[in-house]
């Protein structure tokens, strides 16, 4: 196991995507993650019936490695007391309920900090604890839509809005939640104080706007869909090739544009007054794109990639997922890993964080529901067999 967060214990009450992805990152860094689930089915995505592997959801497998599962009904007094006992010996409590749910369960920050003043509570929700929308349900599609990114994702010319191909609303919030926990842990080493972290999916999505938001603040520019192109840097785009594949090119810098013109055997384009500067190319982008579109249809995708890379042009293929997972760079950096799970070795996506303290990482498989009940209640809390039975069976 990793050593970076060794000794940090996280009580993870989250489920589905926005919470579990964040706690998985903490687990990859060496934190001990205790996944607190209800006994009646557990995490909602355990029951996702698509892409099952030996009866277990691939969705769940992808988000819950390096965790232990404990089943507690927090509406039960005895189970809630067991949770309080765990809070005494833990560092972080992490949830992704709607604001107010933890308080209704009797396990909100104001209660937990009385039990353990050093506890860090991190809550991920759609809109945040003080938002006028705090009671609304929030799923990734809604966040991408309300956060603005769907309004300029996809192709131009009046096509319908398109969501980003994976759940950026969920994933961005999970990563910001992880950052907030790491910051709170550092703050605690300095001051001894715990923290309450309040992460909203909509806030996280909007923060990713960066320069698009700044263009609006400074110039009132409201972005529109432009496909794979860039709003101001030309040429950046995907181009179709002779075999139906696509290559992406980022050649807005003058050096790279000259290199591109050489690779496509049209060096004169770099001297053409219509294209001889970034400002000129932005003004005449349709004419430039028409030339490049025709030229790229002359060779296959892989042929172009070989030539562009050799010519020092930033370029890459538009890979499908199979191609992406077999990319030599991905394999060299251990981004396809394996775990022992349900009696066989299965592949999983690896940890993108590379640090000297992590070394060659191995991962434990996602836990079965309640797999670690005895270890945690009996081992960590020294509960007797009778106490364990009462905690697990009390209504």
Residues contacting residue 191 through CB under 8 Å, at least 6 positions apart? none
pLDDT more than 90, % of the chain: 88
Is residue 170 among the annotated active site residues?
yes
Residues 127 and 187 in one domain: yes
Same domain, residue pair 194 and 293: no
> Which tokens belong to 109?
């920050």
The pLDDT assigned to 10 comes to: 98
What mean pLDDT comes out for the span 10-36? 96
* 324 domain residue, yes or no: no
- Per-residue pLDDT at 356: 86
Q: How far apart are CA 168 and CA 69, in angstroms?
A: 26
One domain, residues 381 and 355: yes
Q: Are 152 and 162 in contact (CB under 8 A)?
A: no
| Domain that includes residue 159, residue range | 9-208+335-393
Lowest pLDDT segment from 79-83, 102-106, 199-203, 351-355: 351-355
Does pTM top 0.85 for this prediction? yes
Radius of gyration of the chain (CA): 25
Q: Which residues pair with 92 in a beta bridge?
A: 10, 120
Task: Answer yes or no: do 201 and 58 share one domain.
Answer: yes
- Check which CATH number belongs to the domain holding 167 and give it: 3.40.50.10540
Domain endpoint, select from 257, 284, 318:
318
Q: Looking at the predicted structure, is the pLDDT value of residue 1 above 60?
A: no
Looking at the domain assignment, is residue 38 inside a domain? yes
Instruction: Tell which residue, 241, 264, 270, 243, has the closest CA to residue 313.
Output: 264
Mean per-residue pLDDT of the chain: 94
Q: So what's the pLDDT on residue 157? A: 74
Looking at the structure, tell me whether residues 114 and 14 fall in a common domain: yes
- Among the listed ranges 120-124, 339-343, 356-360, which one has the minimum average pLDDT value? 356-360
State residue 105's pLDDT score. Answer: 95
Together in a domain, 174 and 276: no
For residues 91 and 93, what is the distance between their CA atoms, to the nearest angstrom? Answer: 7
Using DSSP, state whether 71 is helix, strand or coil. strand
Does the residue 328 lie in any domain?
Answer: no
Q: Average the pLDDT over 91-105 and give the result.
A: 97
Establish if 330 belongs to a structural domain: no
pLDDT of residue 107: 97
| pLDDT at 85 > cutoff 80 | yes
Structure confidence by residue, pLDDT tens digits, 373-393: 999 999 999 999 999 999 999
Q: What does the pLDDT read at residue 54? A: 80
What is residue 362's predicted lDDT score, i.e. its pLDDT? 87
Residue 268 lies in a domain: yes
The answer to whether the CB of 368 falls within 8 A of the CB of 358 is no
Lowest mean pLDDT across 54-68, 87-101, 232-246: 54-68
Are 203 and 352 contained in the same domain? yes
What digits encode the pLDDT tens for the residues 122-146? 999 999 999 999 999 999 999 999 9
pLDDT tens column, 242-289: 999 999 999 999 999 999 999 999 999 999 999 999 999 999 999 999
Residues 262 and 389 grouped into a single domain: no
Q: How far apart are CA 173 and CA 22, in angstroms?
A: 8
Closest among 49, 27, 40, 100 to 76, alpha carbons compared: 40
**Which candidate, 394, 389, 362, 384, places its Cα nearest to that of 66?**
362
Residue 231 domain-assigned (yes or no) = no
List of long-range contacts for 243-248, beta carbons under 8 Å, 24+ apart: 243/300, 243/301, 245/300, 245/301, 245/302, 245/317, 245/318, 246/301, 246/317, 246/318, 247/296, 247/301, 247/304, 247/305, 247/308, 247/315, 247/316, 247/317, 247/318, 248/315, 248/316, 248/317, 248/318
**pLDDT band with cut points at 50, 70 and 90 for residue 359:** confident
The residue annotated as part of the active site, out of 91, 140, 170, 198, is 170
Confidence of residue 203 (pLDDT cuts 50, 70, 90): very high
Do both 128 and 258 map to the same domain? Answer: no
């Amino acid at each position: 196991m990793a050593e970076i967060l060794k000794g940090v214990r996280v009580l993870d009450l989250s489920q589905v995507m926005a919470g579990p992805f964040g706690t998985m990152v903490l687990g990859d860094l060496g934190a001990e993650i205790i996944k607190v689930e209800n006994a009646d089915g557990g995490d909602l995505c355990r029951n996702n019936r698509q892409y099952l592997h030996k009866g277990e959801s691939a969705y769940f497998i992808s988000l819950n490695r390096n965790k232990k599962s404990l089943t507690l009904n927090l509406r039960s007094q005895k189970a809630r007391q067991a949770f309080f006992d765990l809070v005494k010996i833990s560092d972080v409590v992490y949830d992704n309920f709607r604001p107010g749910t933890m308080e209704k369960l009797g396990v909100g920050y104001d209660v937990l900090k009385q039990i353990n003043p050093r506890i860090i509570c991190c809550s991920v929700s759609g809109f945040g604890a003080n938002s006028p929308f705090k009671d609304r349900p929030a799923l990734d599609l809604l966040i991408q839509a309300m956060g603005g990114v769907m309004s300029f994702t996809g192709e131009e010319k009046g096509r319908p809005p398109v969501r980003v191909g994976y759940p950026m609303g969920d994933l961005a919030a999970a990563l910001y939640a992880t950052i907030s926990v790491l910051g709170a842990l550092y703050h605690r080493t300095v001051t001894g104080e715990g923290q309450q972290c309040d992460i909203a999916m909509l806030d996280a999505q909007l923060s990713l706007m960066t320069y698009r938001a700044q263009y609006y603040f400074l110039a009132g520019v409201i972005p529109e869909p432009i496909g794979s192109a860039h709003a101001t840097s030309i040429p950046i785009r995907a181009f179709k090739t002779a075999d139906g594949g696509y290559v992406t090119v980022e050649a807005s810098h003058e050096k790279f544009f000259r290199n591109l013109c050489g690779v496509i055997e049209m060096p004169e384009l770099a001297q053409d007054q219509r294209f001889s500067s970034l400002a000129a190319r932005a003004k005449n982008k349709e004419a430039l794109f028409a030339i490049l579109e025709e030229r790229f249809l002359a060779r296959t995708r892989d042929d172009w990639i070989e030539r562009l890379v050799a010519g020092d042009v930033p370029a890459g293929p538009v890979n499908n997922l199979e191609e992406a997972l077999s990319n030599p760079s991905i394999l060299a950096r251990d981004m396809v890993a394996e775990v022992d799970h349900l009696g066989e070795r299965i592949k999983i996506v690896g940890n993108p964080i590379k640090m000297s303290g992590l070394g060659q990482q191995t991962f434990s498989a996602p836990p079965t529901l309640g797999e670690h009940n005895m270890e945690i209640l009996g081992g960590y809390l020294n509960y007797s067999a009778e106490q364990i039975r009462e905690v697990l069976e009390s209504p």
